[in-house]
Structure 1
Amino acid sequence: MSPPVRIYLSPGMFGFARLASFEYFEHLVVALEDRFRQRGRVAKVLVCDVHPTASVCRRAAKLAHMVAATAGDDDGPIHVVGHSTGGLDARLVASPTARLPGVNRKELSWLPRLASITTMNTPHYGTPLAAFFATVSGQRMLYAISALTVTALKLGAPPLAATSALVAAFGRLSIGNFELEIINRAVDAVAKVLDEASSRELRTWLDLLRGDQGAIVQLMPEAMDLFQAGVEDRPGVRYQCVATYAPSNAVRDWIAALRSPWSAMSATIFTALYNLTSRLDERYPCAAADGAAQAKLKAMLGEALPPTANDGVVPLTSQIWGDLVWVGKADHLDIVGHFPGAGGHTDWLASGARFQRVRFDVVMDRIVSGMIVGEELRDARSPASERSPKSAPPSARGVS
């Protein structure tokens, strides 16, 4: 039998592997497994349980350790998919120039098997939102929004007492007074609606987030200059990306028509995040200096978008790295299955992007097709005598 395909998912700043009995990447796992099964192959999808806001270097080391411990020695292909900051983890692990703390050469012996890296909504050139999260007010806001993320995804909507407190706090951002008392009230209200075990897990996760915020500073556009200067693509590996943006006027146009109090509050939170992410510095425009990102976006969309276009967390042009396999309207969490309607989790970020299951399926189809291309490239660069039985020509594997 052919060896299994191993796919590793690395979550981003608001992400996790499993928390409060909730699987963050549930829809991605199912979608990837199904598409390889349709090709007559077995895919083992594993989620890396990385610290949400630790430095990219520490997160990448955790990813390297996990792959080394679970990849086996059967020569089956390996793919890494990173959402948000997780995409930077994947690029750093694969970089020939990387020196990861506590990772020895033996633990990277799987790298010749690496066929593709997929980044989704990844801030390759940083995000202005990180600069705000690095402030005292921003740290408190990140803490509260993270609590709401977990609870909204688990319960469908967090308690109104928590969201009301948070929305009220947004009104104080202009004077830099995002009070700790308001944040504590919001988190306490969230914890009360969870069972004891889930509440304990949530508070432990939030303590981790508050205790180490190395990635926050690193994601600032000024700091990402160093990442780009020091990290190289691994030759022969396919790099592909998915990028999204939310319509800038969607929330404003339809927020008044929302009937759900939670949806209206969620839309208010998203609007604040969107506006903060739009604050670009012309010296650090969150895009490749050669204009390649804008050219790829225009080729795919048929029009040029303003430089302020973003998904509520990351500027659109910052998300471009490698082959652009899909770009369209969606917010930062829609793309991993947290969208409204059938086939998605609760849409806790009400962005007005109207991302739906049909588009999610198209995204997954294109990601997997790109992975297959990556495997073909891997097979082509390996001598025939070194390939496992899996590495037969594409026609023998049923790949169209």
Structure 2
Amino acid sequence: MATHVFLSPGMFGFARVASFSYFEHVARAMTERFALRGRACKVVVSDVHPTASIRRRALRLARTIREHAQGDDEPIHILGHSTGGLDARLVASPTVHLPGLVRDDLSWMPRLRSITTMNTPHYGTPLAAFFATKSGQQVLYAVMALTVTVLKLGSPPIAAASALMAAFSRLTGAIELSVIERTAESIIKVLDDASSRDLRSFLRLIRDDQGAVIQLTPEAMDLFQASVEDCPGVRYQCVASFAPREGVRGFFKAVPTPWGVVSAAIFNTFYGITAKLDPRYPCKSGDEGLADRLRAMLGELPNDTESDGVVPLYSQLWGDPVWIGRGDHLDVVGHFPGKDVRGKGQLHVDWLRSGAGFDETRFDTVMDRIFAGMLLGEEQARPT
């Protein structure tokens, strides 16, 4: 028998597109750590719609777990990155109500031991409000094409990426949507035919349903927080990261390659939008002891506007924070610049250059902390 670990991707994530596995590094890390304990581990990625409503995504997650975890009594753990963390919280909530949900869909719940959220917008993100606009929807489409292409090939065609950067530079004014449309098409065409078809199908999903985009705004997440309860007996833990603004600016000046310049510019744009907080919806908990805990963990107190480029730092905090440090939104799931130091053919590829300095050592630490928390969740569930 094997322990079950279910991975739920976020808005910039996917199970497998264009023959690239989004959670490849996390899945390997979890499997290795359980094996070192002499335990088998079955890792399954929930193939959820990237931008569908959280309720629809949560239903898909529930049924994925039911399908793959039935027939045994082994522990279950859920790890959600970005929006995927909200899927996990919703599906485990005692008050959950999902369209079409039947009792058997949640028959596995008594075996759930932990929920890990990584860079999840528990209190929303201002970037979602931008993606909800007409121009923002086009940018999201192009950036998703860029994300898949970069992670698969290492870098996109520079001409197309540069055109996208030029469009980003006009975010404060009128964006030429036709330019963004043509740019996305140019990016897709660099893939082989099979991968291009796969990516087009994935991007079509984003255009057809963007329910989660609206739901991730700070205003909408205010309601989510008021209605979604934690499940008693389940360990909740989180990973959070931030790329300080001065690091972004410094890296932008120092990047040595054309793609590095383009990548840093796009990240810097996202970072700026994410920093525009509304004091009425501050994207953070009202916990008065939070500042003291962060200062103890980091030796400093990050300001409210710091983020991973997509989600404000304070919005990422829920449950026990097992790791908080420097990194961008995709660094924490293994997409950072790095060599294949283990000789396993699993090269780490960066998405957008943030200058956070995330590396293999930090990634291993994050995975170690998550794994330790999973074991703690199992230990706490045992009868005394």
TM range (shorter): over 0.9
Aligned length: 378
Partner of 1:374: 377
Partner of 1:84: 82
1:110 maps to a residue whose letter is W
User: Retained in 1: the 8 A contact 2:124–2:315?
Assistant: yes
User: Retained in 2: the 8 A contact 1:31–1:364?
Assistant: yes
Post-superposition Cα deviations, 1:51-108, rounded to whole Å, max 9, x if no partner, equal: 0000000000000011111102311000000000000000000000001111101110
| Correspondence list, 1:1-400, <5 A | 3-175=1-173, 177-343=174-340, 344-380=347-383
Alpha-carbon distance in 2 for matches of 1:172, 1:275: 13
Alpha-carbon distance in 2 for matches of 1:191, 1:140: 15
User: Retained in 2: the 8 A contact 1:127–1:220?
Assistant: yes
Q: Which region of structure 1 is more displaced relative to structure 2, 60-69 or 298-307?
A: 298-307
Q: Which has the larger radius of gyration?
A: 1
Shift of 1:292: 4.4
Alpha-carbon distance in 2 for matches of 1:26, 1:153: 11
Post-superposition Cα deviations, 1:317-360, rounded to whole Å, max 9, x if no partner, equal: 00000000000000000000000112552112100001000010
Decide whether aligned partners of structure 1 residues 41 and 197 sit closer, same or farther in structure 2, where only a CA change above 3 A counts: same
1:77 maps to a residue whose letter is P
Alpha-carbon distance in 1 for matches of 2:227, 2:70: 30
Q: Normalized against structure 1, the TM-score is what?
A: 0.93
Alpha-carbon distance in 2 for matches of 1:250, 1:226: 34
User: Retained in 2: the 8 A contact 1:294–1:317?
Assistant: no
Unaligned runs of 5+ in 2: 341-346
Secondary structure in structure 1 of the residue aligned to 2:248: helix
Post-superposition Cα deviations, 1:137-170, rounded to whole Å, max 9, x if no partner, equal: 1111111111000000000001112111101101
- Give % identity: 62
User: Retained in 1: the 8 A contact 2:161–2:187?
Assistant: no
Q: Which region of structure 1 is more displaced relative to structure 2, 253-262 or 203-212?
A: 253-262
User: Retained in 2: the 8 A contact 1:141–1:178?
Assistant: no
Secondary structure in structure 2 of the residue aligned to 1:32: helix
1:263 maps to a residue whose letter is G
1:74 maps to a residue whose letter is D
Partner of 2:344: none
1:340 maps to a residue whose letter is P
Unaligned runs of 5+ in 1: 382-400
User: Retained in 1: the 8 A contact 2:251–2:264?
Assistant: no
Alpha-carbon distance in 1 for matches of 2:219, 2:188: 36
